[in-house]
Chains A and B, each alone.
Chain A
Amino acid sequence: MESSTTPVRPDGPPPATPEVVVEGGADVTEMDPLEIARVGAGKTLLQVRGLKKHFPIVGGLLRRQIGTVYAVDGVDFDVNSGETFALVGESGCGKTTLGRSVLRLIEPTAGQITFAGRDISHISADELRPLRRKMQIIFQDPFGSLNPRMPVSDLIGEGLLAQGMKDRKARDKKVEDSLELVGLRREYTRRYPHEFSGGQRQRIGIARALALGPDIVVCDEPVSALDVSIQSQVLNLLLDLRRDLNLTYIFISHNLSVVQYFSDRVGVMYLGRIAELGSVEQLYKDPRHPYTVALLSAIPDPNPRKRKKRLVLKGDVPSPAAPPAGCRFHTRCWLREKLGNPERCVTEEPQLRNFGGGHQTACHFAEEISADTVSSAVETQSVLETAVADPV
């Protein structure tokens, strides 16, 4: 982070002047000498190819590497400008690691990330810094993600300072504009995080991400920690901001109802890989992966008159340090059981296959899924046998 005494780098952004006029509250193009072509709506803004992030497990006296967590293990997807692309999955599936790797907040192990036509997977920190303002993130935990010792002016202003906005007055003005943008009062700049409710803190997190005028925002479970009545306020805010500021979202969530309402396209993740990818309509109406079918079946419906028998998966998600061979889902797969445990699921890892209109599924037997197979699987399952013996 630059301090105000650091000399301005020759290629760096010039210090902003106090007269900066801000429109819409989040436009910092005035301090942006960088040539990043604004990608037209519907065109590919972010392209991810073969992305991997492996974490070493160290142990023993000599702290040697004794294993590897395959958090993200070969993921391809595109995000189009102006859309909301959701990543869903259970804890440990790698969705958060993927979201952070894409922004290079953690260094990917392998793979290529192209942002607005520019390969950013290997560029240096200096080259990356000006790009950062175009790629921001909103965190899940509104309590843990705000430094309790910093007033709001610093929480939001820190990023502006790092981006070279050295003039205190201009920065404060920008902070106030951002607060207003997310529906908070301009006077809140002097307050500290503990003075706000959970919903207000999440708004501060959003204001912080938007202060720099990003094109793409990774929203990592932005409403999971909030109560229902506050959740809808924040979702509305995110929708309004997307429209007003032409934002593109990567929306990370485990809540399938929220994803269905909020996003355009969805990638379902399981143990570091994408199991199924498609538009919300495709995935929710015509799921082609047995894992997606089970996830959808697990959503409790608040209408008691729509009570249904659900498909219950067996066992827990296996450890990402030792993903199952072949298809990673085969240890819990109801479809495989239904088909008499075909060997192929264990020997061969399924790749994403096209099912038309951008709908892709990584299952060898995706064609076998129908309303009939699902309902017969529901009929024959035993609820008491859903706990699976992992080695004792």
Chain B
Amino acid sequence: MTEVIAAPSPLGAPPPDNILLDVRNLKTYFKVLDGVVPAVDGVSFSLERGKSIGIVGESGSGKSVSALTMMRLLDIPPAEIRDGEIWFDGREILHMPMEEMRKIRGNDMAMIFQEPLTSLNPVFTVGDQIAEQVERHKKVKRKAAWDRAIESLQLVGIPSPERRVKQYPHELSGGMRQRVMIAMALSCEPKLLIADEPTTALDVTIQAQILELLKTIQDRTDSALMLITHDLGVVAEMVDNVIVMYAGQVVEQGTVDEVLVNPRAPYTMGLLESIPTVEKRGGRLSAIKGTVPNPFNMPPACRFEPRCPYAWNLCAETAPDLYPAGPHGQHARCHLHTPAGAPRLPEALADHERKLNVGHGIS
């Protein structure tokens, strides 16, 4: 991993103290043989201490790459940080030396991955793996670290933790492994917990267990939560704020109550419309036409324009910014929320409302 990224000069001012994480205009590109993939292309958001944020998007939208960039876990090259700053707990972390970053990672900032089996080391016991990072970060003796591991397992509801710490990952079920991952992440009392699709690989009833567990832990500890998922249902239940990503960009952001109930970006509208519900039985689902754009050949202006039911000529000519689109700080990347698009907005919203509630066409 190449460690040095030339720091932009000068860095911006640090955010106010209540902001734990402030991501500013982050651009992570991948340089590959066929060209350059703008995986994350100008993403900005912030997260208050103790609060939660969800990042939603389909595969390839850039949500996982954003998190990995934040953790400084990407290989550079092929990844390339084109621009941006990330302020975490009062310090800029995107350009700090890797030794400094290692002190933060796993300590103040911890991550839960999607695949618990591949993220745990098969040749060490669960206790060894948790104790190792406690020892390193908290500078405590082995015995104290080991006790800490048992405590963390207890915190995530694993029965008889003093025996479980001596087990290897293969001796545990999928749900138990995910609990171990969470215990490991929590063992150093992080200020920020990043969960990347934490329940996607799990069965429905186990997913329910893990989601309830994450909620309880968030209530009991002061850590902030960043939840990355493609499941709008999981987001609706778990977080305060949400950002919706499409083709490397944020297309909508706001509180979950606003974004998932009154979506203002056509992409979010389309996602919600396409969810099968009982009301739509007997009719066809409303589907977003086409597929996500080829990352080597993004649409020149609005990236959603080729699939958008409300697009007009402006959308193919000028790229939209994130415009204010509702109360409580809701923003949408769509020309409908500019003076030029205003006359078209009521019709688009009415159309969304109609598609949301009934299936259309006779089946």
Contacts and interface: CB of A to CB of B under 8 A. Distances in A.
Instruction: Please determine whether chains A and B interact with each other in the same assembly.
Output: yes
Contacts of A295: 204-205
A168 interface: no
Nearest to A257: B276
Given A236-B284, A300-B237, A258 B270 contact: no
A257 B237 CA distance: 16
A383 B157 CA distance: 8
Nearest to B158: A387
Contacts of B233: 299-302
A392 B164 contact: yes
B234 interface: yes
A311 B237 CA distance: 14
Contact of A387 (B159, B236, B237): B159
Contact of A392 (B163, B205, B208, B281): B163
A162 interface: no
Contacts of A239: 284, 363
B256 interface: yes
Contact of B160 (A232, A240, A299, A392): A392
A106 interface: no
A388 B203 contact: no
A347 interface: no
Given A229-B274, A313-B208, 11 more contacts: A199-B291, A227-B292, A229-B270, A232-B285, A240-B284, A261-B277, A261-B281, A261-B285, A299-B204, A302-B275, A387-B209
B272 A229 contact: no
A294 B288 CA distance: 32
Interface residues of B, number: 57
A344 to B, nearest CB: 24
Contacts of A132: none
B287 A233 contact: yes
Given A236-B285, A305-B257, A392-B164, A387 B176 contact: yes
Interface string A297-324: 1111111110100101100110000000
Nearest to B58: A227
21 contacts: A90-B203, A228-B230, A228-B271, A229-B274, A232-B276, A239-B363, A257-B277, A260-B277, A261-B276, A261-B281, A280-B281, A295-B204, A301-B233, A304-B237, A312-B212, A316-B174, A385-B157, A389-B160, A390-B173, A392-B160, A392-B163
Interface residues on A, range: 35 or more
Nearest to A260: B278
B126 to A, nearest CB: 12
B256 A229 contact: no
A261 B283 CA distance: 9
Nearest to A239: B363
Nearest to B207: A298
Nearest to A262: B276
B58 A229 contact: yes
A243 interface: yes
A143 to B, nearest CB: 12
B167 interface: yes
Contacts of A384: 156-157, 213, 216
Interface in B205-223: 205-209, 211-213, 215-216
Interface of A: 90-91, 197, 199, 227-233, 235-236, 239-240, 243, 254, 256-258, 260-262, 280, 284, 294-295, 297-305, 307, 310, 312-313, 316-317, 332, 383-390, 392
Contacts of B291: 197, 199, 230
B298 interface: no
A310 B275 contact: no
Contact of A228 (B163, B234, B275): B275
Contacts of B215: 383
A307 B274 CA distance: 20
A298 B208 contact: yes
Contacts of A388: 159
A303 B260 contact: yes
Contacts of B173: 316, 390
A310 B209 CA distance: 10
B204 A227 contact: no
B278 A284 contact: yes
A305 B159 CA distance: 34
Contacts of B284: 236, 239-240
B234 to A, nearest CB: 5
Contacts of B216: 383-384
A301 B274 contact: no
Contact of B257 (A90, A299, A300, A304): A304
Contact of B157 (A228, A300, A386): A386
Contacts of B167: 392
A302 B233 CA distance: 4
B288 A312 contact: no
Nearest to B208: A298
B59 interface: yes
Most chain A CB within a 10 A radius of its CB, from B235, B275, B280: B275
A264 to B, nearest CB: 10
Interface string B327-349: 00000000000000000000000
Nearest to A242: B363
A232 B286 contact: yes
Contacts of A383: 157, 209, 212-213, 215-216
A243 to B, nearest CB: 6
A316 B276 contact: no
A254 B159 contact: no
Contact of B209 (A228, A229, A386): A386
Contacts of A228: 58, 230, 232, 271, 274-275
Given A227-B58, A228-B271, A302 B232 contact: yes
